[in-house]
Amino acid sequence: MDKTICEMQHIDKIFPGTQALNDVSLTIRTGEIQAVIGTNGSGKSTLANILAGTFPQTEGDIIFNGETVFFDHPSQAIKKGVVLIHQELKLMAEMTVAENIFFGRFSTYKNSPVINWKEVNRKAAEILQELGTNIDPTRKISKLSIAERQLVEIAKALSKEAAILVMDEPTASLTFDEVEMLFKVMRDLKKKGIAVIYISHRLEEILEISDCITVLEDSKLVTTIKNTPDLTKEDLVKLMIPKEKTRVTNNNRTREIDRPVVFSAHNICYSNKVKDFSFELRKGEVLGIAGLMGAGRTELLKCIFGALKIKSGEFYINGKPYKPNSPKTAFENRIALISEDRKAEGLILSMSIMDNMLIPNFAKYSRGPIIRKAKARAEVKEQAESLKLRYDKLTTNVSSLSGGNQQKVVIGKWLMANSDIILMDEPTRGIDVGSKAEIYELVDKLSREGKSIIFVSSELEEVQKVSDRIVVMYNGQNIHEFKQNATLEEMVQYATGSRNSNL
Amino acid sequence: MQPVPETAIYEADKKAAKTNIQALDVIKRGYGKLGNLGSVLIATILLIIIFSILSPYFLTLNNFVNIFRQSAPLAMVAVGITIVIISGGIDLSIASSISLCSVILAMLIKNTDVPLFFSVILVFILGILLGLFNGFLITLLKIPPIIATLATAMTFSGIAFTITQGYSINLPADNAIRYLGSGKIWLIPVSIILVVIIYFVIQWILQNTGFGRLIYGLGGNVEAVYLSGISVRKYTLIIYMICGFFAAFASILLTARVANGHPNNGGGMEMDAIAATVLGGTSIYGGVGSVWGALFGVLTMTIIINGLNLLNINPYIQVIVKGLVLAAAVAVSSFRTVKR
């Protein structure tokens, strides 16, 4: 019957500042689909990456067919038959399906380096047929749908004779029909004796497809259970959230419903990412928008900030229509965006703390075209101190600061611009625990000073901690607005789509 | 014999190691302070030493004045291109802009009654317009800078050849513009004074104005600048206009020195200017650099040519040496960056 192919035993992974995995064990059997679930930051992806050799574990053993192995490069894992399919597919868009499947391993004419394209395409077609699709191997990847690309990735894995296929949220951007097609393929793989590790947030799908389910919570293994017909989504949610966290945490914030509405959004649509989204934001309020990755949160914020153009809908600031054409309009209306990816979008890493904080504010600190250095320096310094920024000199490059301090520089930049409405997109991503607490404190302090804040995060717990009011976003929609305090359990249910108040 | 206690040896070792580390630190810090200027300064000094040993004529006041004077047009182009490169762009059209401006200037002087002063002003305006055209292609039509300016390089050069039919327009020997090429205030050539003033002004602008800092910001992370609510398009346009202005400036100095307007004037200068800029520690990816670095880059290039000339070395070999020095200097500086 089922045979154990690989065992991960007592795996620890420590990244600078955080422990991503703490004593996690996993047994992988041939012909079994094993789901790995857990809230964001629980360590699912880290586990997958260690198995696939992206980076090695800090402690613990991986045992393959009785032999202890150590991967510190993906190629070593591939040799053992472990193939990881990333959430963002890693295919070369301008090359053909067959080229992608066999890249670096092309069939050549005998004793020559010349590629035998006929043979390559034939072999690709063969594998694709095995998967039950008839994708033309000579088509370009860029012409394929996401689901078809997913299949190409699987075909590529099969061509490498994968024994263990690790899929990181493969269904995140698939339609219902495409998911069904993928599941059919997965069942076929299972029959062939391939082990599938399936990471997902979608509990419904997990119940449908998986044989057993491993639950991680806060970097630790909760349990691995068999998937039985009487297992429900609610059971899984309970496992994902430990008992002590299910109670409502009182964050000592008082709800100020009588304050004036400073910003409102009505029926905002953007592409297929944001659907008919409406909400209101009051002065001095922290509005939490909870939602998983890909729910459309970043797109919504970028629409408000003018970096993306909405298809339809209206925004109002203090009752007046607001039409953001570009971030410049947002800036002029005192709206700030603390972007999700601070290194790519928030900071200029080659420049100093002072330059970064001054970038949108040069006009304010200049006489004519000339910067009033003394004044600028004094105010940057004051801002840095009120943010509790830890720095050496103001002329230090931001690249040498820690994640938390970099985030403070981004926040400081907008505070110096006197922003009234601050949009925060995953402000604590990649930040150590201590700095996270400081960011929460800061959010609290700013709201008390009268700033209105939209706090977006996929760590539902922190949304619960900092917000006055919580809106849950799922699949581009405002799926639920909590009228009273939210429990983490309820939030997870709405965010994973297993409950819907608007239907 | 009293054995020396082990701890004493250890202490002494530690002390020695410490002073060694301190000494290293001082050197490193000194080198670090020069920043990316380090390599180019060393290259310049090394070249001066080598040529001084090899040629008795090299280390003379006269020769140095010569070197600076020969450097002046390239130095002007280098300022413009440095600004563009710091902002994350590139301009391959400057040589052609120089040719076109030079031809137009010579025609204005020779064929019209426009006073010299206004002719010069008109040429500056022309240079700015050429830069504006580049900026227009890059910002509005969204053509990548390297392609846009490659296209305009051909276009501008073609215009210069068309209007002159390939002939040179020679300027009368007594024209006042020649003062810019050979005139002196006391002993110092006018062109050198202009270059020094420009370099001081531009470096000051880069350091002390919001616009100057934005130039670095654009090269460092254009996305972050855009998301800070700043009009990237506007500043990109201005930057290419500035580059066009300096192309015009270089063209005026060059026309004054060679006393003619020829569609080949300035040929190849874009490559020399880019080389000088990179030699001076400006990152080809943008965001990092200084105009002073570019000036030393220009001097290095001119010293190589001047020195090899004095040694009667074949001009074709001079180009080979120039290329190798560029590769060596940039290799040293990237090696340092990687190590850091």
For chain A, domains (ranges, CATH) are 4-244 (3.40.50.300), 261-495 (3.40.50.300)
> Is B210–A355 a contact, with Cβ atoms under 8 angstroms apart?
no
Measure CA of the first residue to CA of the last residue in chain A; give whole Å. 44
- Residue A315: pLDDT above 90? yes
User: How close B340 gets to chain A, by Cα (Å)?
Assistant: 12
The rounded distance, in Å, linking the Cα atoms of A50 and A67 is 17
Q: Each residue of B224-244: pLDDT tens digit?
A: 899 888 889 999 999 999 999
Q: Is A13 helix (H, G, I), strand (E, B) or coil?
A: strand
Choose the mutation target among B216, B228, B233 for the interface with A, i.e. most A CBs under 10 Å: B228
Nearest chain A residue (CA) to B287 = A350
User: What value does the mean pLDDT take over residues A23-45?
Assistant: 87
Q: Is A163 helix (H, G, I), strand (E, B) or coil?
A: coil
- Residue A329: pLDDT above 50? yes
Find the CB nearest A348 among B209, B211, B221. Answer: B221
Least reliable range by pLDDT among A132-141, A233-242, A343-352, A494-503 = A494-503
The rounded distance, in Å, linking the Cα atoms of B177 and A392 is 53
User: How close A440 gets to chain B, by Cα (Å)?
Assistant: 23
Report pLDDT for A452.
Answer: 93
Report pLDDT for A252.
Answer: 52
Chain B residues contacting A, CB < 8 Å? 205, 208-211, 213-214, 216-217, 219-221, 223-231, 287-288
A50 within 8 A of A168, measured Cβ to Cβ: no
Residues of chain B with Cβ-Cβ distance to A338 below 8 Å are none
Report pLDDT for B11.
Answer: 52
The rounded distance, in Å, linking the Cα atoms of B288 and B220 is 7
Q: Collect all residues with Cβ–Cβ distance below 8 Å to A480 and sequence separation of at least 6.
A: A471, A472, A494, A499, A500, A501, A502
Report pLDDT for B32.
Answer: 43
Nearest chain B residue (CA) to A360 = B228
The rounded distance, in Å, linking the Cα atoms of A46 and A223 is 17
Residue type for A343, please?
A: K
Number of A–B residue contacts, CB under 8 Å: 89
Nearest chain A residue (CA) to B232 = A328
A376 within 8 A of A369, measured Cβ to Cβ: no
What does pTM read for this prediction? 0.77
Across A226-247, b (16+ Cβ under 10 Å) vs e yields ebeeebebeebbebbbeeebee
Find the CB nearest A337 among B213, B227, B231. Answer: B227
> Is B210–A366 a contact, with Cβ atoms under 8 angstroms apart?
yes
Domains and CATH numbers, chain B: 37-339 (1.10.3470)
The rounded distance, in Å, linking the Cα atoms of B269 and B96 is 9
**In chain A, % of residues over pLDDT 90:** 31
The rounded distance, in Å, linking the Cα atoms of B317 and A312 is 66
Which is more confidently placed, A414 or A179? A414
Helix ranges (DSSP H) in chain B: 6-34, 37-54, 61-86, 94-111, 116-139, 145-164, 178-182, 190-208, 210-220, 222-226, 232-258, 269-279, 291-310, 315-339
Complete DSSP assignment for A316-355: EETTEEE--SSHHHHHHTTEEEE-S-IIIII--TTSBHHH
Q: In the predicted model, what is the mean pLDDT of chain A?
A: 86
Report pLDDT for B7.
Answer: 47
> Is A344–B216 a contact, with Cβ atoms under 8 angstroms apart?
no
Nearest CA among A231, A228, A169, A173 for reference residue A201: A169
> What is the band of A242 on the pLDDT scale with cuts at 50, 70, 90?
low
Alpha-carbon torsion B94, B96, B97, B99, what sign?
A: positive
The rounded distance, in Å, linking the Cα atoms of A209 and B278 is 58
A406 within 8 A of A438, measured Cβ to Cβ: no
> Is A327–B229 a contact, with Cβ atoms under 8 angstroms apart?
yes
Find the CB nearest B217 among A331, A345, A359. Answer: A359
User: How close B219 gets to chain A, by Cα (Å)?
Assistant: 9
Report pLDDT for B31.
Answer: 43
Choose the mutation target among B36, B227, B283, B284 for the interface with A, i.e. most A CBs under 10 Å: B227
Find the CB nearest A369 among B209, B224, B288. Answer: B209
- Using CB atoms within 10 Å of the CB of residue B271, give its burial: 0 to 12 exposed, 13 to 18 middle, 19+ buried: middle
Residues of chain A with Cβ-Cβ distance to B88 below 8 Å are none
Report pLDDT for A210.
Answer: 92
Report pLDDT for B15.
Answer: 53
**What is chain A's length?**
503
- Low-confidence stretches of chain B (pLDDT < 70) are 1-38, 333, 335-340
A266 within 8 A of A313, measured Cβ to Cβ: yes
Q: Is A64 helix (H, G, I), strand (E, B) or coil?
A: strand
**In chain A, % of residues over pLDDT 70:** 94
Q: Are strands A195-199 and A366-367 parallel, antiparallel or unpaired?
A: unpaired
Q: Is A270 helix (H, G, I), strand (E, B) or coil?
A: strand
The rounded distance, in Å, linking the Cα atoms of B137 and B281 is 28
Q: Each residue of B243-302: pLDDT tens digit?
A: 999 999 999 989 988 888 899 888 888 899 999 998 888 888 888 889 999 999 999 999
Q: Is A222 helix (H, G, I), strand (E, B) or coil?
A: strand
User: What value does the mean pLDDT take over residues A363-368?
Assistant: 87
- Residue A381: pLDDT above 90? yes
**What is chain B's length?**
340
Residues of chain B with Cβ-Cβ distance to A373 below 8 Å are 208
- DSSP letter at B73 equals H
